[in-house]
Amino acid sequence: MRIRWDEVGDRRFEAGVDRGVLYVDGNPGVPWLGLIGVEQSRSGGDPKPRYLDGFKISNHAEAEEFEGNIEAYSYPLEFEPCDGIAKLEHGLRVTRQRRKPFSMVYRTLVGNPIDDLTFGYKLHILYNLRAEPSNRKYPSLSERVNPTTFSWNVSARPPKVEGVIPSAHYVVDSREAPAELLTTLENLLYGTATTDPELPTAGELIFMFDSFLDNVYDAGSPLSPVFLVHDAGGPDTPVTLVLDGGAL
């Protein structure tokens, strides 16, 4: 079939950022209110060509690292240690302290001319970030109040996960993720009426998606390390018929 460029609904776009969540020190996630935007950039990844007798024989790229910028009108109190602020007693704080690493989640929206911004969304999960605050200016008040904005340049130490090049940035596309799996993940990230928000490790995240609907193991919760719990026998054992550790 010949390519067409005018199919209704095929023109898609991305816009907006919302549902920011901050995770620090393995504590339950807290909402990041006042989030204006998250900018994604990188360092490295530039090609390093090699020549022999005047001809290019390779064009490998160097390692690429995640960098970015966060801009907000406000930030959670839990972010203060990540901003180099230590809380002492009775409201006293001291700046220029060692900054703690943090992780965060936010959502961007995907739209098209038919569904507008209800067409879909992407969940962005960032691991092991470290913030570097930008300069801050507090101007005198005038007739019109202009809220102060805060911004931080961020870099990351990507977690190591077997099978993939280490990365600090994971993206879940709601248009492709099974609805049940997406609900399970969002209940983890955002919490429920009975559970606190928590951030799965990068390894747990990959395992959740890789093992979804597998018939090999059913060990309980989505984060159960079933590969450490069960031994189904030798390499030729039909494990799909052996183990059932409980319902999800």
Question: Exposure of 209 by Cβ count < 10 A (0-12 exposed, 13-18 middle, 19+ buried)?
Answer: middle
Q: Domain for residue 2, yes or no?
A: no
In this predicted structure, the answer to whether residue 247 has a pLDDT above a threshold of 90 is no
Reported as a single tens digit per residue, the pLDDT across 168-196 is: 999 999 999 999 999 999 999 999 999 99
Kindly report the CATH number assigned to the domain that includes residue 136: 2.30.110
Reported as a single tens digit per residue, the pLDDT across 9-48 is: 778 888 889 999 999 999 999 999 999 999 988 777 777 8
pLDDT value of residue 215:
56
| More confidently predicted of 154 and 66 | 154
Neighbour count for residue 105 (Cβ, 10 Å): 23
In this predicted structure, the answer to whether residue 135 has a pLDDT above a threshold of 50 is yes
Place of tokens 């909402």: 31
Backbone phi and psi for residue 55, each to the nearest 5 degrees, phi listed first: -115, 140
Q: Are 69 and 151 in contact (CB under 8 A)?
A: yes
Q: Percentage of the chain with pLDDT > 90?
A: 54
Q: Domain for residue 21, yes or no?
A: yes
Q: Domain for residue 229, yes or no?
A: no
Q: Domain for residue 165, yes or no?
A: yes
pLDDT value of residue 151:
95
Structural domain range at position 186? 13-193
Q: Domain for residue 81, yes or no?
A: yes
Q: Are 81 and 24 in contact (CB under 8 A)?
A: yes
Ordered DSSP codes for 48-73: EEEEETTEEEEEEEPPEEEEEEEEES
Place of tokens 């092991």: 128
Of 224, 2, 234, 237, the C-alpha closest to 245 is 224
Q: Domain for residue 215, yes or no?
A: no
Q: Domain for residue 206, yes or no?
A: no
| More confidently predicted of 225 and 37 | 37
**Number of domains within the chain:** 1
Q: Domain for residue 40, yes or no?
A: yes
Q: How far apart are CA 168 and CA 45, in angstroms?
A: 15
